[in-house]
Every structure is written in C-alpha cells, then in structure tokens.
A and B are shown apart, each in its own frame.
Chain A
C-alpha cells in the first residue's frame, strides 16, 4: 500500500518512448566503442604474450645513467625557459583576444572571427607548430617558444573568455555610470572579477607547457627533448631513464610551485 502511494506521488515521466531512446543511446555508445577498438587495433593480449620481452626492455633502463647530468640539467633549464616565455607571451595576447571573443562584451561580428582564429590556434598541436617554426626561424629553443605561444594563446583565449562570459553585469554597469570609457569598464568592471580564474588557468597552462616543452625538442625546437630523442634513437636506455627522471622531477616541482602561487592569489 505504502509503495503504491509512493509511486503515485512521483511523476510518471519514464514513458515507453523515453525508455526506448535510452536503450538506443546505450547501444550507440557501445557501437562507437567497438568500432574504435577495431580502428585502434587494440590487442591487450600483446601485453601478456610479450611480457618477457618487455621485462628485458624495462631492465635495460636500470640503473639510470646520470653521467651527463650537467648537460641534462642545462637543457632542463632551457626547457623551463621555453615554457616561461611561451606561456607569458600567450597570456599577454590571450587577454585582449579573450575579451574580444566574449559575447557579453563585443558584438557578434567581432567575437565570431576572433573565436574562429583561436580555434585554429588551438586545433594544431604544439609539436606541429614546432616543426613549422623550426623551418621558419631555424633550429633551437626560439622555435619552441613560438610553438607554445601560438597554441597556448588559442587555449587561454577560450578559457579567459568563458570566465568573462560568466561575470556579474552589475559592477560593469556601476563603472559605466561614472562616465568611464569602454576600456575602463573592462579594466575595473571585468578584470577584477575574472582575475582569480585567469591566474588559475594561466598557472595550469604553465604546468602543461613545461611538459610540452620537454617534447618540442624532438623536432629540433630546443630543450631536454633533443637529448631525450637522441638517447631513445641511440638505444641508450640508461641515459633515457635519467632524462625521464629529471623531467618527472621538473614537472613535480612546477606543480608544487604553481600550487603555492595559486593559493596566494585566490
């Protein structure tokens, strides 16, 4: 009796059509998964079958060889420097571009083209940009900086504009009512509201740019990636292991550092 009363009290929204639709959706998801399994040539058994080979391969990495640690450290610092400049330039450009792609600030004929441009910057991976810039400005870290800069600008502009689109309109109107210019409305009405988020996004992108900077070297754009690539290609696994350990340590340090900075600002 009590159960009957309960089910009567609840709205009967699970109609037959809705249930069929749900079932269909699950079927679709499973179909996509199966289809992708084929395309990606998934062979989990290989891990099992070749486990002895992999054991030997893994053993080759140990003990790690830190003989050239001075070189590794120097290149790690370069990697860090690439990430710093790539991120800084991206932040500087993403601020105006982010505001210009916010629909609550500018009309559609401004934010649509700017957004599409940022889509393009974001769509191409850093590695691809790195290859292009190596051709354009030559081998070396500067190509890496440019690659990170272009890609990160696309990412940050989108994240920045999402923050701007979520602001309270009131304070902006408060600034407007004083007779402020449009730029001043942005400086005083919008930026103080979005600053904590912007800092958080920028720090996160800095972390991921340290990771990315460690691989752009593989295509000749400077940093530890060059050494990593050379040692893998030369089957120098103990050296490869040393470089990987250094990269992990660097990324961990960056994480801890940015956590500290973030806490200070928010």
Chain B
C-alpha cells in the first residue's frame, strides 16, 4: 500500500500581535496510507483544522517545516507551496465546516465546479462543461441523494443538504484524497449522521483515503479505524480509534476536561467541546 499523506516536522505559528506568536502546530510528523479513514480529534485550538488546511495546500507552513507530500508529490516545503499547487489541489477534495458553496449558483453548477481543476482553463472559466461532465455531476448528486434539487439555488438548501452537495463536488472532482474539516460541526445529529455515512461510503466503495477532523469522539469511534489526537499543536495519540476510552481521553486532555464532558452528560462517550456545534 502506498502512502497518501506524509508530513515531516510541520510547524506553523501565527502572529497574534507584534512580537507575540502562538504556535498552532509544533513539529508534527505524520504518515497516512492510502485507503485509510482517519479521524483527527482534539479541542478547538488544538491545531487539527490547521493541519488539514496545510495538507490541502490552503495555508503555508513556517520556513522551518519539512515537506508535506500528498500522493507522492510535494504540496509544500519550508513554507513554500509547490508551483504546481493548483493541479495538486485538484487531486485533493476539501470539505469545509461552512460548506463553502456558491449560494447564488444552482446545486448542479456548484457540483460542476469540482471539474475546474481538470478541464482546460478557458472552458472552465466560461462554464462550458461537457455532456459527460454534467452526467458525472448528476451521478454524484444521485449518490448523495440530492439529484432532484439539482436546479435549485444552493442557498435554499438546509445545512446538511449543502454539506452533501459539497461532498458531491469533491466526488465530481475525482479527488483521490478527501479532507473534511469539521464537516458536521454545524449540523444537527441526523444530518451529521448522513454526512458521515456518505463519507464512509466513499471510503469503502471507492477506496478513497479520508481524513476528517472531529471534536466529537463518538463519531470518530463509529466511523474511523484510526484516530489521531492533537493537543496544543502536538500529536498526543495515534492508534486505533477503539483505544480512545474515557480513561485514555482523561489522560490526554486532563481531568478538568473530562469533567466538562460529564457535565454535558447524556451518556455520550465524550464530546471534547460540549459547548460547540
């Protein structure tokens, strides 16, 4: 099995004020094989979203960082994006917490935008998509169960539906690696379940590598084999998701955190951010 993502010594710091910086990621090393479904967990501010955005080539790391390789090609190294970054982004599907669809365009057109990285630029810019590409977009919409809404404006859909449109966009993109950044944080439990089922289906049927950041451990346990936990910009746990017992979480995030989880209660194994979502 070949490597999907390989990260070496990834460091990222943000300058909050002059001469005052916070380190979001601190020399993170990570390797993910093709065909894995991995959960990145951690409380907000732990660096999980930042990590994912680096892999997608949406932010640049510090100059001291090593290379980030995706599917055998370097996305960025020492804080410099590969000059071919647009072609690489086409290989990487990115699902955002706020869906990031174009509200005024139709659902179908939003899904077709997934082809932009793979069609000649002039054709993509003029919006002249081929019959085959349209068929591909409709198929993707059928798969997420939204084909009948294809001609509606994206802004008229519910949050869960919009997120599934975003997944259809990534499908149409034929992305080999799917990065989902808090895909269910803004959704109600039923919509969240459908989105996670869709991601799992893509992972299982299409054998795609999926990396998903979550702050609710129960979803990681249910849908992912492997879990990586971050805290303060470092990896503090990397192993089978089933090992994420309340005791382990307690060790990772401290007693105070567990207390907060128990306050949120209702028998859940643990939400790292009970107040969020």
Contact = CB atoms under 8 A, between A and B. Distances in A.
A174 B100 contact: yes
B103 interface: yes
Contact of A192 (B102, B124, B169): B102
Contact of A178 (B104, B105, B113, B125): B113
B100 A178 contact: no
Nearest to B179: A177
A188 B121 contact: no
Given A170-B96, A177-B56, A178-B173, A184 B121 contact: yes
A175 interface: yes
Interface string B134-175: 000000000000000000000000000000001001000100
* Chain B CB within 10 A, most for which of A170, A178, A181, A188: A178
A170 B96 CA distance: 8
Interface string A183-224: 110011100110100000000000000000000000000000
B69 interface: no
A184 B89 CA distance: 14
B102 A174 contact: yes
Q: How large is the interface on A (under 10, 10 to 19, 20 to 34, 35 or more residues)?
A: 10 to 19
B166 A178 contact: no
A212 B259 CA distance: 70
Contact of B96 (A173, A183, A184, A187): A173
A180 B88 CA distance: 10
A201 B201 CA distance: 47
A173 B103 contact: no
B181 to A, nearest CB: 10
Interface residues of B, number: 32
A176 B59 CA distance: 12
Contacts of A183: 121, 125
A178 B103 CA distance: 17
Given A184-B125, A193-B104, A175 B173 contact: no
Given A173-B96, A193-B104, A178 B121 contact: no
Contacts of B103: 171, 192-193
Contacts of B58: 173, 176-177
A188 B88 contact: no
A175 B113 contact: yes
A175 B102 contact: yes
Contacts of A188: 102, 105, 113, 116
Nearest to B85: A179
B174 to A, nearest CB: 11
Contact of B92 (A177, A189, A195): A177
Contacts of A173: 58, 96, 100
Interface of B: 56, 58, 86-94, 96, 98-105, 113-118, 121, 124-125, 166, 169, 173
11 contacts: A171-B102, A174-B101, A176-B58, A178-B89, A179-B87, A179-B117, A181-B124, A183-B125, A184-B121, A192-B103, A193-B104
Given A174-B99, A181-B124, 7 more contacts: A174-B101, A174-B113, A177-B56, A178-B114, A180-B117, A181-B125, A193-B104
Top-5 shortest CB links A-B: A179-B117, A179-B90, A174-B100, A177-B94, A180-B116
